[in-house]
Copies of this chain bind each other. A is one copy, B any other.
Amino acid sequence: MSGISDVARIAGVSKSTASRALTGSGYVSEQTRRRVAEVAASLGYVPSTSAVSLATGRMQSVAVLVPTVARWFFAQVLGGVQSALLERNLDLTLYEAPPGTQERRRILEDFLPRRRFDGLIAVGLEPAEGELEQLQRIGRPVVSVVGATGPSSLVTVDDVHAARRATEHLIALGHRFIVFLGGDTDDHFAHVDRLRLRGYQEAMADAGLAAHIRHVGSGVSIPEGYAAAVDLLGETRARPTALVAACDEVAIGAIIASRRLAIAVPGDLSVVGIDDHEYAEMFSLTTLRQLPREQGRAAVDLLLRTIGDPARAREELLLQARLVVRSSTAPADPAPAIAVSDTHPPR
């Protein structure tokens, strides 16, 4: 049977590095961690239970709280978490429930306090509802992915910046009638969508387009984006020349709606999303790319380091989304521009 020495030798690292890589109990570069994990897997090496317990606590399980697995972003984060946990021989306990539901309250009040896990990854917490504070009281390490900034470590894309970049891209193409589409339904306005709306508003104001700021709410799935876009674009007099969508799903819904209404994208309407969803390529969508799978993996790294060293300082991994230009955006038609004074009050 192979031991940690064999793994270290073949991977070309020290024994202590190999051990850290396999238990997640200290810093190792992602590249090294992968190489060590591959070597360990190829040799059939399994860290002894006691060594793993030392690093990760006695339950050998990490809990994941997520609003839903039925959306691309959350499914990707969950996939990254699962994959990183498998490499470290840890189980994943799933708690899935949308914000504001009875099921979510039960998870927070009945399930999580049982502490049947060594640490918790909380995806998309809603700070307005004090969820992070509730989780802190449970007494297990918590790492947040998107959402609440607080005493826990956090992995997130810079959402304000991403929406700013999306908006600036359209402004640079000459657009002024730019609507922010998505977020803010009757019963829910997710923290992440608030941040993105703010990035749009800031970019518009900075460009002297405060008078044109306009937010049209909708849920953030493709069908909800589609329905909201049909309403918005069907109204020909007030039609914008460009949309910043709260996420790619809303952007794709808007493109499907445009095709239905015979509005050419990007000829009549430019659309930019945020995500780089698996369907983005198929719809030639210009978007701000984030890598949710990597966010899930990074959250596992951060969590295991915190479990290994509870005195460790809080970390914030603020990632920058990158603009990917495809063909859903194009220069604005200069003809219909209407002079707008900066003295108009923002709505």
**Taking beta carbons and an 8 Å cutoff, which residues of A are in contact with B?**
41, 46, 60-61, 64, 68-70, 72, 75-76, 78-79, 82-83, 86, 89, 91-97, 102-103, 106-107, 110-111, 116, 221-223, 226, 253, 256, 259, 278-279, 281-282
Given contacts A72-B70, A93-B93, A97-B86, contact A278 B79 (CB under 8 A): no
> Which 6 A-B residue pairs are closest in the complex by CB-CB distance?
A70-B75, A94-B94, A69-B69, A92-B94, A82-B96, A69-B75
Number of copies: 2
Instruction: Collect the chain B residues with CB atoms within 8 Å of residue A226's CB.
Output: 282
CB distance A91 to B111 under 8 Å? yes
By a CB distance below 8 angstroms, the chain B residues around A222 are 279, 282
Partner of A96, one of B60, B72, B79, B282: B79
In angstroms, Cα B117 to Cα A61, docked, is 12
Flag if B259 contacts A223 (CB, 8 Å). no
Q: Is there contact, CB below 8 Å, between A278 and B223? A: yes
Asked, given contacts A75-B69, A222-B282, whether A103 binds B91 with beta carbons under 8 Å apart, the answer is no
Q: Can you name the residue of chain B whose Cβ is closest to the Cβ of A230?
A: B282
Given A41-B106, A82-B97, A256-B282, 16 more A-B residue pairs with CB atoms under 8 Å apart are A41-B102, A64-B94, A68-B75, A69-B78, A70-B79, A78-B94, A78-B96, A82-B96, A86-B97, A89-B110, A91-B93, A91-B116, A94-B94, A221-B278, A223-B279, A223-B281
CB neighbours of A102 from chain B (8 A): 41
A221: which B residues are within 8 A, CB to CB?
278
| 23 A-B contacts (beta carbon < 8 Å) | A41-B102, A61-B93, A68-B75, A68-B79, A70-B72, A70-B76, A78-B96, A79-B96, A82-B94, A82-B96, A82-B97, A83-B103, A86-B107, A89-B110, A92-B93, A93-B93, A93-B94, A94-B94, A222-B279, A222-B282, A223-B278, A223-B282, A226-B282
